[in-house]
Structure 1
Amino acid sequence: MSNIDTKEYDLALGDTTVKLFIKSSDTSGINFINVHQNEVTSKGAGEHILQQFGGRMLYITHGDGTPRNVEFYLNGERYEFDPNRMFDDVGAEASLREFGSVSEDALRAVRNFAERILDFLLPGQDHVIALHNNYNSPSYSFKSYFSPPLSHDVLKISPEVCPESGTGEFFYTTVEDWFDALKQKEIFNIVLQNNKAVEDDGSLSVYVGKNNIRYSNVEAEHDHLEQQIDMLSSIHSVLFPQPLTIEL
């Protein structure tokens, strides 16, 4: 078991303060990020892996309860955006527009906030593992990647046969070697992002794909804690394989 330390930072977003937490152990290990406050199962699974293997995890808190989107105020105006659509101008502007109004000042505030998150997330790290949950709904599941528009973002998929019903548990990675290693286990659904053709939606996967940063999103249904812990244990074994012991 690893000793876990928690640090807290106040990040300005317009006239609003968002709290960033970093849980880390005294040993090196996996580099997690959880950007959606309502996806608490993924956060719990990440904390379990930190206790078991060590590493670090970034997550943000904002507003009352467990909202998915971030709401902030600037010059007396209210704005809202998806924190997984803030990592470039195109995505940030589209997200602000989807959930309300957009202005140059608001866009600048969101982009500055995203850069602060990246400043904490990336330096000294060679990979990112994103923690997400979904509702295995017709609007989003592993099945979504077999048809447009999301199929255009796919370079490889495993298994190659579309499931009859959606499934909420799957890996979405930018790293072909990780895709191949997970595929060899023959128990997971896996999507390999086409880093050259993926739609620019401002998500972290698009950002890291453009910047050659190793990345995987580990998706599981809400409340499927054991399944997500198993998935995180498997991606940990891919990142940090145990050396073979040869008895003489």
Structure 2
Amino acid sequence: MRSLFIFITCTVIFCSCARTDSPAKDFTPAVSNLSVALGDTSFTIQVSIFDSSSRLIFVHIHDDEQTAKNATHRFLEHQGGTLISIQNNGERLITFPFNGRSYTFDPNRMLTRKGIIESLQILQPFDEKAVPEVERFANSLLQKIPAKSYVIAMHNNTANNYSVLSYLPNGSLQGEAEKVHVSKKMDPDDFVFTTDHRIFNGLQKRDISVVLQKEIPATDDGSLSILFGRRKIAYTNIEAEHNHINDQLQLLEAVANIAAK
């Protein structure tokens, strides 16, 4: 009897512990590495589907912004969604060979023709023949975004450079914002930029720093926000300073919660 009692007791304890320790449901991604031509070479666009039933599509364009990528992975492992990212050996700018020369551009400036031209001109050398090569690469990225999805871009910045304060009067980007809410409780480098009035209003109520892009922004910089703004597609960018992973994850969770309603 004593042995049976011990067995039953241990079994109950084991089952109880198993229930207590079992983690929340996790998602394991199905990863596809897609080779996309760019000039005389190719780059990989990686598509990681954690949960195909989710309409949340995350876009990670700058491969040097690893805090953003890690925060997105943490979220997706538990909440589901899809991550589309450019693999660029940890580099921010993309350099590619074409017709015996090398060209460099910012992939966050490749979503409009004007943005591509200006990026190539700034980073030099420039040749009109290189522009269609970048356009085709950009279109390949856009084709990976399913219709009727909710797109969230993930970015990082550096301290005292680009922040929510940039959009205030006398800020360097004041002409791009329709509305700005600055939370005194937050680091100015950690904020949300959106074309979606619902996201702006929801985050403002939560006292989270947020910027609403103008319907017709002053500057066409070739970014995803400009393209989606023109197409009247809801788009949100979550910014955080490098290494502020918990702050970025909290912003992501707040945005996802509002977008789901």
TM-score by length of 2: 0.85
Gaps of 5+ in 1: 242-248
- Asked if 1:35 corresponds to 2:58, the answer is no
Worse overlay, 148-157 or 205-214: 148-157
- Match for residue 103 of structure 1? 127
Pick aligned residue for 2:200 from 170, 176, 179: 179
Q: Is the 8 A contact 2:67 2:156 kept in 1?
A: yes
Larger proportion of helix:
2
User: 2: CA distance between counterparts of 1:127 and 1:228?
Assistant: 18
Gaps of 5+ in 2: 1-25
Q: Is the 8 A contact 1:181 1:238 kept in 2?
A: yes
Q: Is the 8 A contact 1:198 1:206 kept in 2?
A: no
Pick aligned residue for 2:166 from 144, 152, 160: 144
- Asked if 1:19 corresponds to 2:39, the answer is no
- Asked if 1:8 corresponds to 2:33, the answer is yes
User: 2: CA distance between counterparts of 1:31 and 1:179?
Assistant: 19
Instruction: Look at both structures and tell me which one has the larger radius of gyration over its CA atoms.
Output: 2
TM-score by length of 1: 0.90
Q: Secondary structure at the match of 1:106?
A: helix
> How many residue pairs are counted as aligned between the two chains?
233
Deviation at 1:4, TM superposition (A): 1.3
User: 2: CA distance between counterparts of 1:238 and 1:225?
Assistant: 20
User: 2: CA distance between counterparts of 1:26 and 1:126?
Assistant: 13
CA RMSD in angstroms comes to 1.6
Pick aligned residue for 1:200 from 194, 215, 220: 220
- Match for residue 129 of structure 1? 152
Deviation at 1:55, TM superposition (A): 0.4
Q: Secondary structure at the match of 2:228?
A: helix
Worse overlay, 27-36 or 168-177: 27-36
- Match for residue 244 of structure 1? none
Q: Is the 8 A contact 1:2 1:27 kept in 2?
A: no
- Match for residue 4 of structure 2? none
Identity %: 32
- Match for residue 67 of structure 1? 91
Q: Is the 8 A contact 2:151 2:234 kept in 1?
A: yes
Q: Secondary structure at the match of 1:101?
A: coil
